Amino acid sequence: MALGFGGCVRFDGVQSALAPVSPEADHVFSLSWIMFWGSVAILVLVMVLGFYAVFGRRRPALDGNKMVIAGGVLLPLLALPPLLVYALALGDGLRAPPPEGALRIEVTGHQWWWEVRYRFPDAGDDFTTANEIHLPVGQAVEVLVTSNDVIHSFWVPRLAGKIDAMPGHANRLTLKAEEAGEFRGQCAEFCGAQHTHMAFVVVAKPQEAFEAWAAGQRKPARQPSSTEARRGLAAFLSQGCVECHTVRGTPASGRIGPDLTHVGSRRTLAAGTLDNNSATLAALIRDYQEFKPGADMPSHKDAFDQPTAESIAAYLEELQ
Ligand code: HEC
Ligand SMILES: [Cu+2]
């Protein structure tokens, strides 16, 4: 309570389980409150009895087996099974399959970023992105969550409960945003040094805007338009970035790091940790380890100079 009143617990905000915007998150929210108030009621009862036992005038009334049977056997029998049944019923609702023909998104956790693959009825429409998930508002979307290395956990508190991302196995989750907006997701299972910096953004928008976004993401990367960006592309292709990153429409087809085909359109960099702007982008390219020590993206401080990093950033920024 002290934390709550002190403002440490946010009741709104992009990552608050206390501000649900989907039926699933709403279930989790109701369950939490019912469990919370149930516990409060039991705590109050126990405290009252405790005080009475110590200070009450007719304390002997609490003596004897009756009290033990009432408080120790009957009360738990009456209080716990209904809560259990309620929780199990809600849990079943959370696992309900999405409707036939729902949009499918495959999310793969990597140390320490998220790969996001969109699957459409026509495989030619599929595309891959990273660290950002866009959803059409009001539609149930099937999300298949897996991992490339260790166990991660996929959690967008305003939209759904947590689900484990396990190597070699896909867990299913339904996301249905009932409001447009931007929500934050976070890896919720300690997965190594940069676990904290393994976040992502979920953007829910009206169907048309979603279609327009998907059409943009489906396209190969645009050609660089300025001299600086052209220099950037040349450096990008010659500095080994292509070993790990894909930029569709160029020879870069690496799969170790995030797909960068439309990295310029994303809100954040380095898995939801930094705002996406040219200065940050250049700084990251130059010295990723400074921001995310231990990540699979090497530092390039010794490989090239700041102007080169800036030209690569200028190129990547154009990849809207
Ligand atoms: C050895 C593989 C590897 C090489 C080489 C590499 N990267 Fe990366 N890169 C990664 C990985 C892995 C990540 C994600 C790391 C993380 O945040 O945990 C990443 C992240 C990034 C990001 C942030 C992407 C996002 O969506 O937030 C950018 C931009 C980037 N790399 C650009 C480059 C550029 C430019 C080069 C070449 C100068 C390069 N990378 C070379 C593996 C690599
Ligand atoms: Cu993780």
Q: How far is CA 274 from the centre of its chain?
A: 15
Indicate whether this model's pTM tops 0.75. Answer: yes
Q: What is the pLDDT of residue 231?
A: 96
Angle between helices 75-94 and 23-55 (to 10 degrees): 170
Minimal-distance CA residue to ligand 1 atom 41: 241
Q: Examine the domain organization and report whether 128 and 190 are in the same domain.
A: yes
User: Residues 160, 246: one domain?
Assistant: no
DSSP class of 65: H
Q: Which residues lie near ion ligand 2 (Cβ < 5 Å)? A: 152, 187, 191, 198
> Residues 210, 110: one domain?
yes
Ligand 1, atom 13, residue with closest C-alpha: 257
Do 123 and 202 belong together in one domain? yes
Q: Which two tokens stand for residue 87?
A: 């929780």
Clarify whether residues 72 and 120 are in a common domain.
no
Nearest residue to 21 via CA among 150, 135, 114: 135
Q: With respect to residue 10, please indicate whether it lies within any of the assigned structural domains.
A: no
- Rounded to whole angstroms, what are the CA distances from 71 to 63, 76, 85, 120? 12, 7, 21, 57
5 falls within a domain? no
What H or E segment, with its residue span, contains residue 24?
helix 23-55
- Could you say which of 60, 94, 128 is where a domain stops? 94
Q: Which of 285, 289, 297 to mutate to test the pocket of ligand 1 (most atoms within 8 A of CB)?
A: 297
pLDDT for the residue numbered 213: 97
Name the domain count of the chain. 3
In a domain, 245, yes or no: yes
What's the CA-to-centroid distance between 258 and ligand 1, angstroms? 7
Digit-coded pLDDT (tens) for 185-199: 999 999 999 999 999
pLDDT at 71: 83
Is 70 within the bounds of a domain? Answer: yes
Mean pLDDT of the chain: 91
Decide whether any atom of ligand 1 lies within 6 Å of the 236 Cβ.
Answer: yes
| Same domain for 164 and 67 | no
pLDDT of residue 35: 86
Q: Is 294 in the pocket of ligand 1 (CB under 6 A)?
A: no
| Statement to judge: residues 276 and 183 lie in one domain | no
295 shares a domain with 247:
yes
| Domain endpoint, select from 173, 192, 216 | 216
H or E element in which residue 45 lies: helix 23-55
Q: What is the pLDDT of residues 157-174, one digit of tens each?
A: 999 989 999 999 999 998
User: Which own/partner pairs from 270-273 qualify as long-range (CB within 8 Å, at least 24 positions apart)?
Assistant: 270/113, 270/197, 270/295, 271/112, 271/113, 271/114, 271/130, 271/131, 271/197, 271/198, 271/199, 271/200, 272/131, 272/184, 272/185, 272/186, 272/197, 272/198, 272/199, 272/200, 272/201, 273/197, 273/199
Mutation test residue for ligand 1: of 129, 131, 288, 299, the one with most atoms within 8 Å of CB: 288
Of 216, 243, 273, which closes a domain?
A: 216
Specify if 160 maps to a domain.
Answer: yes
Q: Which residues pair with 135 in a beta bridge?
A: 204
Mean pLDDT by 10 residues, the chain (320 residues): 59 82 88 88 90 80 81 88 87 78 94 96 92 95 96 94 95 92 95 96 96 96 95 95 96 95 96 94 96 95 93 96
Reference 311, options 282, 283, 270, 272; nearest CA is 282
CA of 242 from ligand 1 middle (Å) equals: 10
Ligand 1 center from residue 232 Cα (angstroms): 15
Ligand nearest to the CA of 239: 1
Q: Which atom of ligand 1 is nearest to the CA of 270?
A: 27
Ligand 1 close to Cβ of residue 309 (< 6 A): no
The reply to whether 221 falls in a domain is no
Cβ–ligand 1 distance for 239 under 6 Å, the answer yes
Domain membership of residue 246 (yes or no) is yes
**236 and 314 assigned to the same domain:** yes
Residues spanned by the domain of 138: 104-216
Are 236 and 307 members of one domain?
A: yes
The pLDDT, as a whole number, for residue 64 is 78
CATH assignment at residue 153: 2.60.40.420
Q: Are 83 and 131 contained in the same domain? A: no
Looking at the domain assignment, is residue 99 inside a domain? no
**23 and 54 housed in the same domain:** yes
